[in-house]
Chains A and B, each alone.
Chain A
Amino acid sequence: MAPKKREGALTGYRVLDLTDSKGAYCTKLLADMGADVIKIEPPCGDLGRKMPPFLNGEPHPEKSFYFLYRNANKRGITLNLESDEGKDILKKLAKSADVLVENFGPGYMDSLGLGYDVLRGINPKLIMAGITEFGTDGPYRDYKGSNIVDFALSGVMITSGYSGKVPTLLPGTPAYDAASVAADIQILAALFCRDTIGKGQKIDVSVHEAARHGLYPWSVTIYSYSLTPGGPLPMPEGRLGAQIFPVYPCKDGFVRVVAITPRNWQALVRVLGSPEVLLMPEWENFIYRVGNADDLYAIMVEFTTKFTQIELWEAGFREGVPIAPIYDIPTFVNSADATARKFFIEVDHPVAGKGQYPGPPYKWTETPASVRRAAPCLGEHNEEIYCGELGLTTDDLIALRYDGVL
């Protein structure tokens, strides 16, 4: 017998996952920690299956990297929630579930007769989390969100990108992931206190509200601190990434420098061999460097290009100035750190085959988080769950599939 796989911290909890790409990261994090996440897709499949990039560039419902990565560790069933039989089946599943997560939009679950008030009647211990774009009520309630629009509204995009050019999207789905982690925090807090308070609860997450809290909660506070009664308004926030955390070319690519204090700067000068032109005392002042970033860049390039990324990285550590290489994705995958930590995990998917997936970003001594199974093929676990757990027969499954329920 194969050795029993070690359990995760959340092993034993069951999560019904009705999300699409907006909430996939929420349930992925729970699944990585061992929760039994059952992804419930409409019979035509989750829209996430259509999201590029694809294996070998070939659009195919089992080959979307977005879907494969964000749904690993989950089991998958199909269910048409808009059919009467589908609603009954969901209610049966809700009986034994600890958590249900959905991102349909305000009022949709209620309109199906599957709102929290109904489901908690079936299972008072159920924790139900709803992720909406703009909240369940309010002036933007019916507004549409999207990855780029939600990032724009988060207050971070205005700071993101090259100075003087267009604000730039952060790769991935940042606002949705910020909402997902806000949902996770509340779900886990609700699980923690469930036995004490004797019941589950309803959790609402608005992407619009959670995105700024999740990505960069300082923006309004910094602005608010810079207001003085009767004083001038602060400069409008812009894109100063390259001025504040400068990027310099070196022999084999680019590095990024985080030099804030005078000591950081002095260390940087030593790293570069203490050239005369950098010893001018004004350069020690961070604000002066930010204000004269173009001039400084022109001077720095001559010295930074004498070194490799690794040389600058290591010399920065020795001297006391944080410097990091700007790695492309292959270099990170093959880096000594990712290798030593076994960050990438081999996952074997019946259609997409074997691949090295990024694992959970943490190591646990007692209950390891891991990638234990590949993302489900569409309806892969219908028989296992509907027949094995709800007592349906394979004939029932055939009939329900014919009726468009599964």
Chain B
Amino acid sequence: MSRAALEGVMVISFGQGAVVPDAGKILGELGANVIKIESSEHLDFVRTLGPKNEVAGFNETNRNKRSFGVDLRTDKGKDLVRRLIKMSDVVAENFRGGVAKNLGFDYESVRKFKPDIVYISSQGFGSGGPHSDYPCYGPMLSSASGMLSIWKQPDDPYPAGSNSPLPDHMASKHAAIVILAALDYKRRTGKGQFIDMAQTEVAAALMGEKYLEYTMNKQVPQPMGNRCPYAAPHGCYPCQGFDNWVAISVFTDEEWRSFGKAIGNPAWTQDTKLADIPGRLRHVDELDKRMAEWTATREAKEVMELLQSAGVAAGVVQRAPDTMNDPQIAFDKALIELDHPTVGKRLYPNIPFHMSETPPAPSSLAPFLGQHTDEICRELLGISDEEIKGLKEGKILESP
């Protein structure tokens, strides 16, 4: 059995929602011992978005960690968590701004008893600005950062964004990255530190070139929809059935000729005005209309395979069942079935990490609230069963 990359690393997660829990999931995937601190009084709100223990988003995001049920409003509960932090390498929190401080678990408090801690704090707007205490969710990050303003078709009445909380899950990966870099710095120097990540700034960082359009060209970036300033066709085209689509992009003239050939060289693909990139860009409205007429009578998967075998980039606009039937996803074992005690066998994305020397172990299930309270008390805190019982009766600890 090979070693996990983060074997021996311990992480205390005061995470809720997506960003810190998803980062914790990733560190757990890499072999860290991740402990989620929670209680019925201080519930991760994602637990409340459906029947108890059966919220898909929670059970996806909180894999690979253990749950320690403890009431942080009690002195004894605080003391137990302080003892866990003293054994840890990392503390991560994304409480609403100011909450960690009120609880006595902000960086300044923690470093007093654990000077070399790597501490990451992530609020929507980050600290230091006027909105640092504002609660924030994914759809607000894209709104306040400017991302949403250009995430639309030019003729949409307003930008609708997505029902998925983008870019939350990209912010979580940035959190994992900075935690890993800080851990490595600590490994080499013995020094911990505090990292304050603003999730709105992650949204901006993902499209930094758009901000240069304003700061250097003094222009307000405009939405481009699915179009590309240097390629056509470049879009999403309707296919057979209800709300089915295929994305197609043609960059070079050679690809354009391959596209024509693959679909049987109908007259419109032979039109000389479409033979080169400037011509296709000039006549992009007409081109998109022709493309849509051609795709409309076909299945998205059939279009993808036909064009890909001709060397043209094309892909089904997938929804979950398409992903579940995607042969490459199956080949990669990119989905994994886990048997959860209350929801049964369900699919989860597998870990997309392929490391030759430290391959990640299979994913473990998300915990019930307080599922590992006893185990953590015994293993890490050396508390007797009798004492655990007393702490539970005193409502300091909880377990399912």
* Cβ contact within 8 Å between A181 and B319: no
> When the two chains form their complex, are residues A239 and B162 in contact, meaning their CB atoms are under 8 A apart?
yes
User: Which residue of chain A has its CB nearest to the CB of B165?
Assistant: A216
Known: A161-B162, A360-B205. 17 other contacts (CB 8 A): A10-B181, A10-B185, A25-B206, A53-B217, A69-B208, A152-B315, A161-B160, A185-B180, A188-B180, A214-B173, A322-B140, A329-B146, A331-B146, A335-B129, A355-B215, A362-B201, A363-B196
Report the bound CA distance from A221 to B363 in whole Å. Answer: 14
Q: When the two chains form their complex, are residues A144 and B139 in contact, meaning their CB atoms are under 8 A apart?
A: no
CB distance from A357 to the nearest CB of B (A): 7
Q: Once bound together, how far apart are the Cα atoms of A150 and B173, in whole Å?
A: 19
Q: A33-B181, A135-B331, A149-B315 are in contact. Are A66 and B56 (CB under 8 A)?
A: no
Quick check: A189 and B317 within 8 Å, CB to CB?
A: no
Q: Is the CB of A188 within 8 A of B181?
A: yes
Kindly state the separation between the CA atoms of A222 and B191 in the bound complex, as whole angstroms: 41
Taking a contact as CB atoms under 8 Å apart, the answer to whether A218 and B57 are in contact is yes
Question: Quick one: which of A55, A237, A332 contacts B319, CB cutoff 8 A?
Answer: A237
Q: Find out whether the CB atom of A329 lies under 8 angstroms from the CB atom of B220.
A: yes
Contacts of A330 in B (CB 8 A): 214, 220
Segment from A104-112, A271-279, A337-345 that makes contact with B: A337-345
Q: What would be 9 A-B contacts, judged by CB atoms less than 8 Å apart?
A: A68-B212, A148-B249, A162-B153, A172-B210, A213-B352, A236-B242, A247-B160, A337-B200, A365-B194
Q: Is the CB of A223 within 8 A of B5?
A: no
A-contact 0/1 string along B326-362, CB 8 Å cutoff: 1111011011000000010011110111111110000
Chain A 148-189, CB-CB to B under 8 Å as 1, else 0, gives: 111111111111111101111111101001100110111011
Q: How far is the CB of A342 from chain B (nearest CB, A)?
A: 9
In whole angstroms, what is the CA distance A9 to B147 when docked? 29
Please tell me if A93 contacts chain B, counting CB pairs below 8 Å: no
**Chain B residues within 8 Å of A150, by CB:** 315
Number of B residues, CB within 8 Å of A: 151
User: What are the 9 closest A-B residue pairs judged by CB atoms, nearest first?
Assistant: A223-B320, A337-B129, A361-B201, A152-B247, A324-B140, A138-B331, A366-B193, A188-B180, A172-B207
| Contact between B149 and A328, CB atoms less than 8 A apart | yes
Q: Mark A356-376, 1 if CB is under 8 A from B, else 0.
A: 111111111111010000000
A184-227 contacts to B (CB < 8 Å): 184-186, 188-193, 196-197, 199-206, 208-210, 212-226
Contacts of B54 in A (CB 8 A): 225
Q: Is the CB of A328 within 8 A of B243?
A: no
Cα A68 to Cα B208 in complex, Å, equals 10
Q: Kindly state the separation between the CA atoms of A340 and B132 in the bound complex, as whole angstroms.
A: 10
Which one of B163, B177, B198 contacts A188 once the chains associate, using CB atoms below 8 Å?
A: B177
Take A135-B328, A201-B356 as given contacts and tell me if A168 and B206 are in contact as well, using a CB distance cutoff of 8 Å. no
| Contact in complex: B216, A352 (CB < 8 Å) | yes
Q: Contact: B163 with A181, CB < 8 Å?
A: no
Asked whether, in the complex, the Cβ of A219 is within 8 Å of the Cβ of B320, the reply is yes
Contact segment of A81-89, A253-261, A384-392: A253-261
